[in-house]
């Protein structure tokens, strides 16, 4: 329970939040309708929570209630939207899903078949890019950008040739991108990290700050924990003991693959329950679950403490997850980050696919601040069209598994139908399993194996960040609170955009949460439970938790939520990251690759191919692009 009243937190203050009412955006910027032949209207605000310029939407964005309602009612619930109206539109390729995998698929298809290939991309949400979503704020004359989904690109030395070739096609220069990220900006100003311990769990609100040069043991001595718990933490951080004496490197790794990090700390390092709170959420950002559900071997692979004495060779092993394997493979420590996260990649793809949405030929610099004309995404006669707020509900071959494929979708509560010579399913695997009739039963089962990671990225525009500077911190790590993290946005200077360089300037604060249910040993069950929790949380709940955390942590430094918060956007991804297998929950990870569900799930079906990051069981941009390239090659 929060300590402050709604009035004290400014819950009734007229900030830019533009709450969603039954999926319809209330306030300025209601969606403009794009007329199609015969008077059909798309981009309806009632479907997908759309807005005339989606990156500027506030309130709950991403996977909104409106989009979810259509998907569940029609696709899973058997609701009948009425007979689909045939628009008489036939395309060489119809792509179901306008995230980076779907956009990349359209790009690769044109390269394979020619620039005049006619392509339609159907996207269920109000914006293109999927998780590569962009948030924009305008505060005190300044434009503020932040990612609303995917955060950054990973090191190119872990990428395959299709993804690298696409970056070359788009003119993305990784070295230049890294130069535009000022990773040392906040530490250069003497700002460290604050560790917030709430009264409800620790007896009193405490913000324990750590300066950038302060040794860890000095911090630990000030934590509001018992002497025993503090000693346990220091033991984890400094241990050089080999807890598996007599075992070979391979045998040690196999043992770590079969126990959780929490169990390793308890049983072998000898850590008590009180100290585990210091580590419990360390794995949330990558896997969406706590340390009781993540293999100890995977935690070793990403560099978590407690393993130094094992003296393990820093190489992957049979059963390691793909994220820690990637971490062990690269020595690149650069941060490849656009001001809007990965949205710049999607914007560049759209600029190539649909000329006119962005004026002129865009570069990785110019597209960052370029205006987008969403009314030009879906123009009659264009070679490539992107149709937003269009939820595919049925994708079937007209004759067996040969010939044209009919694609039905719902927009604005009405059903429509188009057709394609080829179709690429770049949406979630589970959705494809329901809307592509005739798939082999084994493939359907494989498609439904993974459960996407639910997550929330909240973005808060502040009028200034003086209170952060007074507190001496740029980020807050909270314990036993609603939010997993809270920090000032990464400092960048790219393409004419420069983030705040003075604490009296507006800035974006980023908060994240991966809802789950600790105690459930199976990762997929935690994701299902987390999704239920997430969908029961209203925008008002999110807003109050944002204001409460920041007020309690920063209030002593002069922060006033009722005065300093100017706008809030909550990016809700109830179906977020692609599910990544781990050696505790998914014994199939030890089997040959061709026997694992995600490989069986992506088999082509006649003139329908499967893309998206689910097809690689790996929730990264380069994985989504690689799968798009594979899907196109299977069709062409």
Q: What is the 3-state secondary structure (H, E, C) of 576-612?
A: EECCCCCCCCCHHHHCCHHHCHHHHHCCCECCEEECC
| Domain assignment present for 261 | yes
CATH number of the domain bearing residue 442: 3.50.50.60
Assigned token pair, 315? 């190489």
Whole-angstrom Cα distance, residue 478 to residue 549? 8
Asked if residues 134 and 461 have their Cβ atoms less than 8 Å apart, the reply is: no
Q: SS3 for 474?
A: strand
Q: Is the pLDDT of residue 535 over 50?
A: yes
Whole-angstrom Cα distance, residue 552 to residue 207? 9
Asked if residues 492 and 337 have their Cβ atoms less than 8 Å apart, the reply is: yes
Whole-angstrom Cα distance, residue 433 to residue 438? 9
Q: SS3 for 362?
A: coil
For residues 232 and 321, membership in a common domain is answered with yes
Q: Which residue has the tokens 């604060």?
A: 509
Asked if residues 481 and 207 have their Cβ atoms less than 8 Å apart, the reply is: no
Assigned token pair, 114? 């020619």
For residues 319 and 354, membership in a common domain is answered with no
Q: Angle, nearest 10°, between helix axes 100-113 and 343-353? A: 30
Highest mean pLDDT among 34-38, 67-71, 122-126: 122-126
| Domain assignment present for 508 | no
For CA atoms 345, 383, 47, 528, give the dihedral sign.
negative
8-state DSSP, 32:
P
For residues 289 and 232, membership in a common domain is answered with yes
Strand partners for 497: 494
Of 491, 535, 488, 534, residue with least CA distance to 513: 534
Domain end residue (candidates: 296, 329, 362): 329
Whole-angstrom Cα distance, residue 156 to residue 334? 10
Percent of the chain residues past pLDDT 90, beyond the cut: 86
Q: Report how far Cα 631 is from the mean position of its chain's Cα atoms.
A: 22
For residues 307 and 350, membership in a common domain is answered with no
| Domain assignment present for 272 | yes
For residues 394 and 419, membership in a common domain is answered with yes
pTM check: above 0.85: yes
Asked if residues 578 and 623 have their Cβ atoms less than 8 Å apart, the reply is: yes
Q: Which residue has the tokens 């210091």?
A: 278
Higher pLDDT, 393 or 68: 393
* Residue 402, pLDDT score: 85
For residues 353 and 430, membership in a common domain is answered with yes
Give the tens place of pLDDT for each residue, 231-259.
999 999 999 999 999 999 999 999 999 99
Contacts of 287 (CB under 8 A, 6+ apart): 293, 294, 298, 323, 453, 523, 580, 582
| Domain assignment present for 466 | no
For residues 433 and 368, membership in a common domain is answered with yes
What mean pLDDT is predicted for residues 88-102?
A: 98
Q: SS3 for 243?
A: coil
8-state DSSP, 489:
P
Q: With cut-offs at 50, 70 and 90, classify the pLDDT of residue 49.
A: very low
Q: SS3 for 246?
A: coil
Give the tens place of pLDDT for each residue, 302-316.
999 999 999 999 999
For CA atoms 103, 105, 106, 112, give the dihedral sign.
positive
What mean pLDDT is predicted for residues 60-80?
A: 74
Q: SS3 for 77?
A: coil
At residue 194's C-alpha, the angle toward residues 191 and 196, to 5°, is 165
Q: SS3 for 245?
A: coil
| H helical segments located in 496-606 | 523-535, 539-554, 561-564, 597-601
For residues 309 and 358, membership in a common domain is answered with no
Q: Is the pLDDT of residue 19 over 80?
A: no
Q: With cut-offs at 50, 70 and 90, classify the pLDDT of residue 76.
A: low
Asked if residues 38 and 240 have their Cβ atoms less than 8 Å apart, the reply is: no
Phi, psi of 163 (to 5 degrees): -70, -40
Give the tens place of pLDDT for each residue, 615-626.
999 999 999 999
Q: Angle, nearest 10°, between helix axes 100-113 and 621-635? A: 40
Overall residue count recorded for the chain in this entry: 636
What mean pLDDT is predicted for residues 70-81?
A: 70
Percent of the chain residues past pLDDT 70, beyond the cut: 93
For residues 403 and 373, membership in a common domain is answered with yes
Strand partners for 411: 414
Of 498, 475, 479, residue with least CA distance to 488: 475
For residues 257 and 323, membership in a common domain is answered with yes
For residues 255 and 348, membership in a common domain is answered with no
| Domain assignment present for 256 | yes
* Residue 16, pLDDT score: 64
* Residue 338, pLDDT score: 97
- For the chain, what is the total number of helices (H) and then of strands (E)? 24, 23
What mean pLDDT is predicted for residues 600-610?
A: 98
| Domain assignment present for 178 | no
Q: With cut-offs at 50, 70 and 90, classify the pLDDT of residue 78.
A: low
At residue 512's C-alpha, the angle toward residues 506 and 480, to 5°, is 115
Output the DSSP codes for 126-146.
SSTBTTS-EEEEEETTEEEEE
Q: SS3 for 182?
A: coil
Domain total in the chain: 2
| Domain assignment present for 518 | no
Give the tens place of pLDDT for each residue, 96-138.
999 999 999 999 999 999 999 999 999 999 999 999 999 999 9
For residues 297 and 394, membership in a common domain is answered with no
Domain end residue (candidates: 329, 349, 364): 329
Strand partners for 391: 410
* Residue 520, pLDDT score: 85
Asked if residues 325 and 618 have their Cβ atoms less than 8 Å apart, the reply is: no
Of 34, 151, 107, residue with least CA distance to 490: 151
Whole-angstrom Cα distance, residue 578 to residue 558? 40
* Residue 34, pLDDT score: 28
Asked if residues 71 and 391 have their Cβ atoms less than 8 Å apart, the reply is: yes
Residues of the domain holding 263: 226-277+279-329
| Domain assignment present for 323 | yes
């Amino acid at each position: 329970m929060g300590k402050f009243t709604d009035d004290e937190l400014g819950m009734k203050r007229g900030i830019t939040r533009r709450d969603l009412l039954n999926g319809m955006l209330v306030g300025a910027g209601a969606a403009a309708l794009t007329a199609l032949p015969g008077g059909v209207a798309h981009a309806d605000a009632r479907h997908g929570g759309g807005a005339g310029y989606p990156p500027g939407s506030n309130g709950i964005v991403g996977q909104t209630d409106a989009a979810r309602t259509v998907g569940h009612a029609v696709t899973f619930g058997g609701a009948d939207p009425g007979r689909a109206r045939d628009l008489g539109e036939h395309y060489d390729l119809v792509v179901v899903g306008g995230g980076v995998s779907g956009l990349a698929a359209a790009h690769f298809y044109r390269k394979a078949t020619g620039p005049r290939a006619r392509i339609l991309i159907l996207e269920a949400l109000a914006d293109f890019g999927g998780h590569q979503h962009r948030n924009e704020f305008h505060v005190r004359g300044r434009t503020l950008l932040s990612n609303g989904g995917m955060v950054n690109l990973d090191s190119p030395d872990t990428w395959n040739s299709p993804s690298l070739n696409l970056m070359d096609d788009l003119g993305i220069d990784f070295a230049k991108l890294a130069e535009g990220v000022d990773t040392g900006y906040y530490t250069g100003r003497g700002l460290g990290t604050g560790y917030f311990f709430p009264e409800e769990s620790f007896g009193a609100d405490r913000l324990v700050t750590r300066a950038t040069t302060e040794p860890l043991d000095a911090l630990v001595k000030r934590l509001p924990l018992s002497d025993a718990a503090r000693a346990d933490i220091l033991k984890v951080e400094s241990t050089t003991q080999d807890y598996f004496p007599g075992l070979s490197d391979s045998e040690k790794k196999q043992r770590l693959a079969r126990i959780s990090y929490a169990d390793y700390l308890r049983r072998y390092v000898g850590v008590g329950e009180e100290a585990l709170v210091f580590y419990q959420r360390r794995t949330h950002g990558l896997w969406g679950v706590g340390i009781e559900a993540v293999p100890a071997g995977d935690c070793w692979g990403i560099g978590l403490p407690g393993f130094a004495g094992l003296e393990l060779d820093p190489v992957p092993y049979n059963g390691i997850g793909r994220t820690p394997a990637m971490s062990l493979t690269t020595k690149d420590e650069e941060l490849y980050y656009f001001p809007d996260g990965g949205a710049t990649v999607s914007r560049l793809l759209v600029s190539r696919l649909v000329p006119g949405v962005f004026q002129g030929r865009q570069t990785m610099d110019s597209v960052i601040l370029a205006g987008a004309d969403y009314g030009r995404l879906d123009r009659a006669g264009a070679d490539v069209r992107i149709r937003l707020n269009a939820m595919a509900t049925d994708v079937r071959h007209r004759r067996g598994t040969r010939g044209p494929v009919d694609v039905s979708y719902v927009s604005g509560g009405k059903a429509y139908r188009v057709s394609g010579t080829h179709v690429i399913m770049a949406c979630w695997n589970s959705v494809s399993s329901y809307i592509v009739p005739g798939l082999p039963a084994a493939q359907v089962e494989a498609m439904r194996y993974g459960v996407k990671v639910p997550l929330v990225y909240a973005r808060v525009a502040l009028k200034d960040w003086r209170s952060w500077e007074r507190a001496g911190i740029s980020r807050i790590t909270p314990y036993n609170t609603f939010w997993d993290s809270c920090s000032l946005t990464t400092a960048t200077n790219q393409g004419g955009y420069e983030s705040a360089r003075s604490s009296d300037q507006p800035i974006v604060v980023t908060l994240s949460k991966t809802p789950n249910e600790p105690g459930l040993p199976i990762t997929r069950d935690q994701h299902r439970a987390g999704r239920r929790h997430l969908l029961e949380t209203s925008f008002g709940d999110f807003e109050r938790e944002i204001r409460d955390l920041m007020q309690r942590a920063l209030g002593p430094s002069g922060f006033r939520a009722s005065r300093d918060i100017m706008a809030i956007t909550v990016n809700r991804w109830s179906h977020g990251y692609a599910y990544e297998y781990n050696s505790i929950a998914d014994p199939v990870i030890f089997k040959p690759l061709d026997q694992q569900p995600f490989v069986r799930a992506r088999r082509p079906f006649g003139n329908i191919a499967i893309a998206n990051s689910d097809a690689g069981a790996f929730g990264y941009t380069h994985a989504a692009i690689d799968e798009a390239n594979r899907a196109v090659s299977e069709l062409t």
